[in-house]
Amino acid sequence: MDGAAATMCPQLAVVGAGEAGSELVAMAEQVGARLAEAGAVLVCGGLGGVMEAACRGARRAGGSTVGLLPGTDRGAANRFVDVVIPTGLGEARNVLVVRSGEAVIAVGGGYGTLAEIALALKAGTPVVGIATWELARAGLAIDDVERVESAAEAVERALTLAGARPR
């Protein structure tokens, strides 16, 4: 790692559904707070549900958040996004979200989250999952997602897989 990379904050992507139940929202908020406490920058899709909850947790804990929006309207971002990037790419922005993270934390999720998990794994980016998709091919488990039960485990594992040291 060169000198500049050694001094940069780790960037971790948090992915999950734009509409989520209260348990997943609470979990995502804890993930965001723990990422902030570890000194990581949270990158997400910038909208509601899991993304908003994670950003809220990070902001409340003094962290930084980046939202890569599918549309071109900066105002569509949730109010806890610090850096708003309106991509105009629709769901194709999912590639940018997962490529911006040194690791990905998937909290629950719908088909967009499934796509993000696949894109991350295809790129060799580690994925840590809480109550998210399980992967199989021809009925055989091929799940490369590291399963955890808590926000603390998710952040610790993601930082380790990203090669970052928590504060």
Q: Would 3 be classed as within a structural domain?
A: no
Pick from 6-20, 57-71, 112-126, 144-158: least confident? 6-20
CATH code of the domain covering residue 82: 3.40.50.450
How many angstroms separate the CA atoms of 142 and 150, rounded? 22
pLDDT digits (tens, 9 = 90+) for 109-163: 999 999 999 999 999 999 999 999 999 888 888 889 999 999 999 999 999 999 8
Q: Are 146 and 160 in contact (CB under 8 A)?
A: no
Q: Would 4 be classed as within a structural domain?
A: no
Has residue 166 got a pLDDT over 60?
Answer: no
pLDDT at 1: 47
Per the structure, how many domains does the chain have?
A: 1
> CA 116, 118, 121 angle in degrees (round to 5)?
105
Q: Which residue, chain included where needed, has tokens 């990581």?
A: 40
Mean pLDDT to the nearest integer, 20-29: 96
pLDDT band at 164 (very low <50, low <70, confident <90, very high): confident
Q: Would 51 be classed as within a structural domain?
A: yes
Domain that holds residue 38: 9-162
Q: Would 67 be classed as within a structural domain?
A: yes
Q: Would 167 be classed as within a structural domain?
A: no
pLDDT at 124: 95
Q: Would 1 be classed as within a structural domain?
A: no
